[in-house]
Structure 1
């Protein structure tokens, strides 16, 4: 297709931080021939309403929102308008979120360190039917896959746990608190809570004690 014949990609922004929305608008406004921002919203209900009314090509959404989850937004948007694609733009460079995003039907997972030219290039790729993943995160996922192919499993891999979730579970079994786990892994308390939610879901439990019981029953740690 000749550039002159190309229609600008119509994008809806979903984020609960006004400064982020303003920054994205300013960034994308530099590429008017490639991208048009048709609106911005901050929650799931508003996103679904906007998608139904305006039918954007792509929804650019944060993975975590103050009053909900971007993953829920993705599923709701895809259910309301299957032709609309969802790309996550977030600060969370965690494989768990990437896997959840792809399972929810996302067409992309990018980190907020991306610059304007890169973002537009990724959106164009998604519009053409590709799935895009931040290069740094994709590299880590590829390395993990290579290790698995070589049989280098970590405890809990067979139950679907990521390597970091397995590390958190091991520290749970050791009796450490969330704060102690955060200090040991050099991450924030919120990051530990995120890993706990992920491993609880995968182990089909609701609390620390039950998670430890599954770990011991399955012989994950000795």
Structure 2
């Protein structure tokens, strides 16, 4: 029998009406389902619905009742972390956000902290970290794992501008210079200028090297 997707705003059986609802958003449905299975076992929260793109996430957040927590992957089908967090913070500042990322995607963790995420969780530690993080958020406390804080504070100051972060995130998604220019409303020559500056700051000479260094947070 096919398993039905959970319905946002419907408390788990026996749960109190003020239990925060957890929305899970990632471009891959299988990731949402895996995280949702873990969330469903945490008594302090109730599992809501899943979203794979910005439109569905916006609809879910607008229809949410009571407290909501968003567990967010670094990419949706039609937007990266920066765009999604900007939308959430603008339209739903009351929503608490936990960003989930792989160990090789530290650049997105750093970006999440800058954009006001309440917490971050490495995918490799999700089984032990996520229940603790959600418990703290339910109590009203933001929480940042010690390992991530240590790495954030030990790294050099971020030399990349916001626009350079946007362009690098689109490079990671595989967009060409033309596609990047169309997405950001820039000319192709301007995109090339930004790429040249990015290569200099990252001390690389190719797109592949820039992407590898960026997703690992080595800048």
Same fold at TM > 0.5: yes
Stretches of structure 2 lacking an aligned partner (at least 5 in a row) = 1-14, 162-196
Deviation at 1:50, TM superposition (A): 0.6
Superposition TM-score, scaled by structure 1 size? 0.62
> Contact 2:24–2:72 at 8 Å: present in 1 too?
yes
Higher mean C-alpha deviation, range 76-85 or range 43-52? 76-85
Q: Is the 8 A contact 1:13 1:40 kept in 2?
A: yes
Q: Does 1:36 align with 2:46?
A: yes
Partners of 1:170 and 1:50 in 2: CA distance: 38
Write out aligned runs for 1:125-140 (5 A).
125-140=136-151
Instruction: Give per-residue Cα distances to partners, 1:57-99, cap 9 Å, x unaligned.
Output: 2100012233211222222122222211111011155554233
Distance in 2 of aligned mates of 1:106 and 1:7:
22
Alignment of 1:34-183 (within 5 A): 34-55=44-65, 56-144=67-155, 157=157, 159=159, 169=201, 171-172=203-204, 176-179=205-208, 182=209
* Corresponding position of 1:24: 35
Q: Which runs of 5+ in 1 are unaligned?
A: 145-152, 183-188, 200-222
The alpha-carbon deviation at position 142 of structure 1 amounts to: 3.1
Q: Secondary structure at 1:87's aligned position in 2? A: strand
Q: How much does 1:112 deviate?
A: 0.8
1:97 to 1:158, Cα distance in 2 relative to 1, 3 A: closer
CA displacement at 1:109 relative to structure 2: 1.4
Which deviations, in whole Å up to 9, do the C-alpha atoms of 1:19-53 show, x marking residues without a partner? Answer: 1111112112222x222111000111211111110
Per chain length, whose mean CA-contact separation is higher, i.e. which structure has more relative contact order (CA < 8 Å, sep 6+)? 2
Q: Normalising to structure 2: TM-score of the pair?
A: 0.63
In the aligned structure 2, how far is the partner of 1:193 from the partner of 1:141? Answer: 14
Q: 1-side partners of 2:76 and 2:68: how far apart?
A: 21
Instruction: Tell which structure's C-alpha radius of gyration is larger.
Output: 1
CA distance in 2, matches of 1:137, 1:63: 16
> How has the CA–CA distance of structure 1 residues 167 and 95 changed in structure 2, closer, same or farther, with 3 Å as cutoff?
farther
| Cα gap change, 1:136 to 1:168, in 2 (>3 Å) | farther
Aligned length: 169
Distance 1:125 1:136 in 2: 17
Alignment match, 2:26: 15
CA RMSD in angstroms, aligned pairs only? 3.5
